Structure 1
Amino acid sequence: MSADYNPADPFALWRQFVQAATPSSAQPFLPPMSEEEIERRLAELKVVESWLTMNLGMLSMQIKTLEMQKAAFASLKKGAPE
């Protein structure tokens, strides 16, 4: 640990990490963006969101189908003569 570390300050270690990882002139988490850049990134994220939503729907449908098959097999086992 460096001499700047203060255990009483909960963000000291985080601040030290960020300062070491980025040059002093760079903003690590929120780079300046133009309005066009923001619109482009929003559009990209909405495409990703819709893709993930579609995949979640397909996954849910597959889970429900397997649960129905499991219930059908269970009911066939109960009704089968021995």
Structure 2
Amino acid sequence: MSQDHSNDPFALFRQFWQQATPPGMQAFLPPMSEEEIDRKLAELRVVEGWLTMNLGVLSMQIKTLEMQRAALHSMRPKDPPPAKP
């Protein structure tokens, strides 16, 4: 650790981050060029669309199950009223 970090207070942290970052984590680091930013935005919009579609499907499944439960409940035989003495 003979490097002089007095001019840049974050140099040590930056060096640690570069050494600790596995190759797969590079995708989570901020892009540097405008083309990379545009590409990343397009990718994220595709993922957002996919997630939105899945959320719609999930909501539809929940509503369908709720309607099935209500239908089963309405077809259940009613308990007779208690007998009066």
TM-score (norm. length: structure 1): 0.59
Runs of 4+ in 1 over 2 A off after TM superposition: 17-20, 29-32
Residue 19 to residue 41, structure 1, CA distance change in 2 (3 Å): closer
Q: What is the Cα deviation at residue 78 of structure 1?
A: 3.3
Tell me the matched-pair count. Answer: 61
Residue 76 to residue 37, structure 1, CA distance change in 2 (3 Å): same
- Deviation string 1:34-62 (CA, Å, 9 cap, x unpaired) is 10110000000000001000000011001
TM-score (norm. length: structure 2): 0.58
Using the aligned pairs only, state the percent identity: 75
**1:38 correspondence with 2:32:** no
Larger Rg, first or second structure (1 or 2): 2
